[in-house]
Structure 1
Amino acid sequence: MFVGEYEYKVDNKGRVPLPPKFRKEMEDGLVLTMVADNCITAYTKADWAKMTANAAPTGFFVSEDERRLNRFIYSNANDVAIDNQGRIALPAALRERCGISDTAIITGVNNYFEIWTPDGLKKEQLSADEARQLVDKMRERK
């Protein structure tokens, strides 16, 4: 499980350290992509395999929206290894699309984690009041 928020410097080769707590779950490497937000999303290879097995269908008989979404997610996906110092290299294209340059915020989101710019994460974070309102709204749906 990935929890917590960590701020790291991105080196001149685009590498960022992983929080030590995250490294054990990522020993086989990880998959980085973009999903819906303006951040890099990181999955264990096992979770990526599970997620993609249940994702939008592929092949000849899929809708235009499914093809476009598949193209976005899979064309941005990158297999990444952890080096001996516990760092991962963030692909240049993903860094550019997400605006990540010298500082990255890594935030745990249960079974995956996200890599944000400080300003990007600040815009997305909820206040305590907003979180409470969302919880109430979600309860009403059930």
Structure 2
Amino acid sequence: MVFLIGEYECKLDTKGRMVVPAALKRQLPDVEREGLVVNRGFEKNLVIYTRAEWNKILKQLSRLNQFQVKNREFVRRFMSGATELMLDAAGRVLLPKALLEYAEVGAELVLACNLEKIEVWSKAKYEEQMAAVSAEDFADLAEDVMGIFGEEGGNDE
């Protein structure tokens, strides 16, 4: 499993292409051979997955009981818009227009690494999202989310 790090400001050209930043590309050694997958996120953003990570998600989805309506609806909705991305000779990927419209991404965007995936945000929405939580609120959130590890004792190595 590859955990990605970094936050990158990028620009789209008029055709909707984005150059994958070199520092991010170095973290994705198989990207030129295997490509990536982009899909809608849950918060009006996009999410880019490595092919290996996307395949893990597909495996999880395939185990859902398709006789249950909520499972079918979730899979249908989640898979809607999923698109393969391949780097061109200039190291660019073409982000689908429909997905860019969904996430309200204009010419300026932010790639925010989030463990094994890359979130794609309009620059304005990302700044708004990050400003929505104050430093004090973030400290409280950290205690709520990560404090449990101290209660369990030890670390997970």
Deviations 1:2-38 (A, max 9, x none): 2111111110100011111222412210000013121
Q: Quick one: which of 127, 134, 145 aligns to 1:127?
A: 134
Instruction: Determine which structure has more spread, i.e. the larger CA radius of gyration.
Output: 2
Measure, in 2, the Cα distance between the counterparts of 1:130 and 1:76.
34
Does the aligned pair in 1 maintain the 2:65–2:71 contact within 8 Å? no
Aligned to 1:22: 24
TM-score normalized by structure 2?
A: 0.80
Q: Quick one: which of 101, 104, 108 aligns to 2:109?
A: 104
Q: How many residues align?
A: 141
Does the aligned pair in 1 maintain the 2:4–2:116 contact within 8 Å? yes
Give the superposition deviation at 1:128. Answer: 2.6
Q: Quick one: which of 51, 54, 57 aligns to 2:57?
A: 51
**Greater alpha carbon shift after TM alignment, 50-59 vs 91-100:** 50-59
Any residues of structure 2 matched to 1:1-142 within 5 Å, and which? 1-24=3-26, 25=28, 26-27=31-32, 28-55=34-61, 57-58=63-64, 60-62=66-68, 64-125=69-130, 126-138=133-145, 139-140=147-148
Measure, in 2, the Cα distance between the counterparts of 1:66 and 1:74.
12
Does the aligned pair in 1 maintain the 2:17–2:95 contact within 8 Å? yes
Give the superposition deviation at 1:140. Answer: 4.8
Higher relative contact order (Cα pairs below 8 Å, separated by 6+ residues): 1
The answer for unaligned runs of 5 or more in structure 2 is 152-157
Deviations 1:17-65 (A, max 9, x none): 1111222412210000013121110000001101221237456412x33
TM-score normalized by structure 1?
A: 0.88
Distance 1:67 1:123, change over 3 A: farther
RMSD of Structure 2 on Structure 1 (CA):
1.9
The answer for unaligned runs of 5 or more in structure 1 is none
